């Protein structure tokens, strides 16, 4: 079983729709992250959480929100999707003091 699971794997949505991407982990890690990957831009940080009650904006948080429902779950929401949010989204986890991330397999989101 995968230890960092992202759902859905692929999603096509329309402009203006609200969509939620989910991430769950069985690693027991306290830290969780959301990144988006775009060709030529690498991975850019959207939000990160060091604890259930500790959520922080990354470099590109506009248009996104997150929820840390439990230590093992970290969801990313697009309140009103727009085409330039079309990307591959990755969830990652780590434990405090260790930047060896464990990544999920990614969610490919297309906004039409």
Partner 1 sequence: AQRVTQPEKLLSVFKGAPVELKCNYSYSGSPELFWYVQYSRQRLQLLLRHISRESIKGFTADLNKGETSFHLKKPFAQEEDSAMYYCALSSTGRRALTFGSGTRLQVQP
* Binding flag, residue 43, partner 1 (CB under 8 A): yes
If one asks whether residue 50 binds partner 1 (CB under 8 A), the answer comes out as: yes
Q: How far is the CB of 14 from partner 1 (least distance, A)?
A: 29
Q: Which stretch binds partner 1 (CB under 8 A): 10-18, 20-28, 64-72, 100-108?
A: 100-108
Q: Applying CB under 8 A, which of residues 11, 30, 58, 63 lies at the interface with partner 1?
A: 58
The binder of partner 1 chosen from 24, 48, 64, 68 (CB under 8 A): 48
Q: Are 66 and 86 in contact (CB under 8 A)?
A: no
Could you count the other beta carbons within 10 Å of the beta carbon of residue 21? Answer: 23
The CB-of-31 to partner 1 minimum distance in angstroms stands at 8
* Ordered strands of the 73-78 beta sheet: 4-7, 19-25, 73-78, 64-70
Residue environment code for 70-85, b if the CB has 16+ CB neighbours within 10 A, otherwise e: ebbebbbebeebeeeb
Instruction: State the nearest-atom distance from the C-beta of 80 to partner 1, in Å.
Output: 25
- Per rule CB under 8 A, is residue 64 in the interface with partner 1? no
Least gap, CB of 12 to partner 1 (angstroms): 21
| Cα separation, 46 vs 64, whole angstroms | 8
- Tokens 């930047």 belong to residue: 99
């Amino acid at each position: 079983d995968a230890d960092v699971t992202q759902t859905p794997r692929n999603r096509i949505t329309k402009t203006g729709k609200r969509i939620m991407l989910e991430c769950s982990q069985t690693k027991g890690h306290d830290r969780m992250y959301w990144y988006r990957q775009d060709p030529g831009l690498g991975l850019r940080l959207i939000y990160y959480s060091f604890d259930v009650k500790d959520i922080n904006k990354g470099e590109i948080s506009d248009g996104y929100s997150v929820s840390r429902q439990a230590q093992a779950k970290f969801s990313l929401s697009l309140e009103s999707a727009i085409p330039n949010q079309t990307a591959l989204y990755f969830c990652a986890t780590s434990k405090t003091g260790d930047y060896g991330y464990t990544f999920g397999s990614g969610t490919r989101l297309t906004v039409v």
